[in-house]
Amino acid sequence: MDMKQFKLDKEPKISSGFSTPDGYFDLFSDTFLAQLASDDKEIQVLSLSKSKKPWYYAIAAVSVIMLAFPIYTKFASYSEEIDSLAFDNYLAYHVVSEEVLVDLLDQEDIDTMATEFNVEDAVIEEALQFNSNLQEYLID
């Protein structure tokens, strides 16, 4: 192969060179499904033990609730926790653009970043040089 005349689309396709262990794909689905089944068993909810005196537990539960209720109503604050599954699903569906991220910053954050990231012009130029969207930015 004459490297001086190298043209990617004119040369025979160069494969990645990556390989896998023998039989990897033949065994993958069985191994994976077995792992999935075993993981499911581990997260089974433990059933409550059958006590001869369940009323002990009932009294304890009621007591805890009665004690906790006034504390909860005084200090409870609404917090929006992101369900991890919903968040993962959001990431799977959405690519968070830089524009969205910038919109989430206030001026104080931006000023702080400007001080912390004291980027020289040469560094910016180098980053732009390798930016595949450069032409789009220039058009804008």
Partner 1 sequence: MQDEKDFIRELLNPKTQNAAFQKLLRDYQRPLYNQIRNIVLNHDDTDDVLQNTFVKVFQHLKNFKGDSKLFSWMYRIATNEAITFINQKSRRNGTTSEAMQTRIVENLKADDYFDGSEIQIKLQKAIVLLPQKQQLVFKMRYYDEIKYEDMSEILGTSVGALKASYHHAVKKIEDYMKSC
- Give the interface with partner 1 as residue ranges (CB under 8 A): 1, 3-9, 13-21, 24-25, 28-29, 32-33, 35-36, 85, 88-89, 91-95, 130-133, 135-136
The type of residue at 62 is V
Total residue length of the chain: 140
Q: Which is nearer to partner 1, 77 or 129 (CB)?
A: 129
Dist CA 69 CA 76 (whole Å):
10
Q: Which is nearer to partner 1, 9 or 125 (CB)?
A: 9
Least distance to partner 1, CB of residue 106, Å: 26
Element (H, E) at 61: helix 54-75
Q: Which is nearer to partner 1, 78 or 130 (CB)?
A: 130
Dist CA 137 CA 131 (whole Å):
10
Tally of CB atoms within 10 A around 21: 7
Least distance to partner 1, CB of residue 80, Å: 19
Least distance to partner 1, CB of residue 76, Å: 30
Least distance to partner 1, CB of residue 35, Å: 7
Least distance to partner 1, CB of residue 16, Å: 5
Dist CA 135 CA 126 (whole Å):
15
Cβ pair 131, 137 in contact under 8 A: yes
Q: Which is nearer to partner 1, 88 or 111 (CB)?
A: 88
Q: Which is nearer to partner 1, 12 or 70 (CB)?
A: 12
